[in-house]
Chain A
């Protein structure tokens, strides 16, 4: 399990990313997140709907009533052009973030010390 603080800034991007593969609805999306991460991350109900609200407000997704399945009418979400654009930016940002975090937190410390050591010589 991952702490929700760490991942907070990425929930919107997770959802956009999944929606860029096709329209979906609340439960299916949260299940997909859980399944793809092998249960390491599960999004809370309120976090999910906060994200939907925010994304809708920003015009990144649109909601529409879906057909009835298993006796329930579900609200489906669809990614918009702006949403796709935003997702691409976020993907680029992630590439950089990944490197930065890895450089500071990850296992490259050795290199840093080697360089430091060399500089001190």
Chain B
């Protein structure tokens, strides 16, 4: 029995998963198992029964052609696409959540290093060896933070296949939407907490300025501000990254029917962005210098950047919609 199941799994490996193909797979497997059991009942050996069932399977290309599914071998230079299942989706959510947490911690670490040094220096007027020790401590924390940025940045660069259209089945889409809904409350809480911390972070600074007291220096106020702001940023970065993961998955997850079209649009958009980055902006910079020198118009030529910025969107849309 397992041989038949494996066989079907193998055959359907290259077939894109849709409601239709999934049903087909289930039906065909049921049929083959029926046939296998019947053969066994007639007295065939396990080996013979499996042999007959597989011999009578036929040619899968015939079937796929009928269903209008481009088999990988036919490859009508249609862009290849991926099907993301629940496992892939949770994987991306996990990576993003972890990256958000670590980048947030990295920022907190940097700011704590800096902040605690300022706090100690401001409050206890460190000199000599204690000052150097504090400095070393700060540098270690900052290095730790930067290390976290690099590690997470590299991890995130491995997730590019989630950033272009992929096939998302209806049930997985619903699953994502449900989970996003569940996360919404924590997200709102985190944003409020982050904003509150960032606003409150100014209070030590203000306090130190108002008090003008030698017992609470402005330097210490700045140090405390840095640490509190770091905590606030941690909330933002973590929840923002996690929330953004849902947005990315839901906006790039497309139904099977339109995946080819979506990939084409994505390709065009990428090309447009490439042109804008490599050609459009350099031209604008050159034009800026030429105009400025020729007309000596340094006072107004900077406006070209404003206009360029406004036109960027228009040009991008021009490229994307053309031949659409």
Contact = CB atoms under 8 A, between A and B. Distances in A.
A87 B65 CA distance: 24
Interface in B20-56: 23-24, 26-28, 30-35, 38, 56
A46 B34 contact: no
Contact of B63 (A30, A53, A75): A53
Given A46-B63, A49-B24, A53-B66, A30 B58 contact: no
Given A49-B63, A50-B63, A50-B66, A42 B56 contact: yes
Given A42-B56, A45-B56, A49-B24, A27 B31 contact: yes
Nearest to A51: B66
A26 B27 contact: yes
Interface in A30-53: 30-31, 42, 44-50, 53
Query: Secondary structure at chain B's binding surface: helix, strand, loop or mixed?
Result: helix
A92 interface: no
A95 to B, nearest CB: 28
B295 interface: no
Nearest to B27: A75
Contacts, number: 55
Contacts of B33: 72
Residue of B26, B27, B28 with most partner-chain A CB within 10 A: B27
B129 interface: no
Interface string A7-41: 00000000000000000001100110000000000
A59 to B, nearest CB: 15
20 contacts: A26-B28, A27-B30, A27-B35, A30-B31, A31-B38, A42-B56, A44-B56, A44-B57, A44-B58, A45-B28, A45-B56, A46-B57, A46-B58, A46-B60, A46-B63, A48-B31, A49-B66, A50-B65, A72-B30, A72-B34
Given A31-B35, A74-B30, 6 more contacts: A27-B35, A47-B62, A49-B27, A49-B63, A53-B67, A75-B23
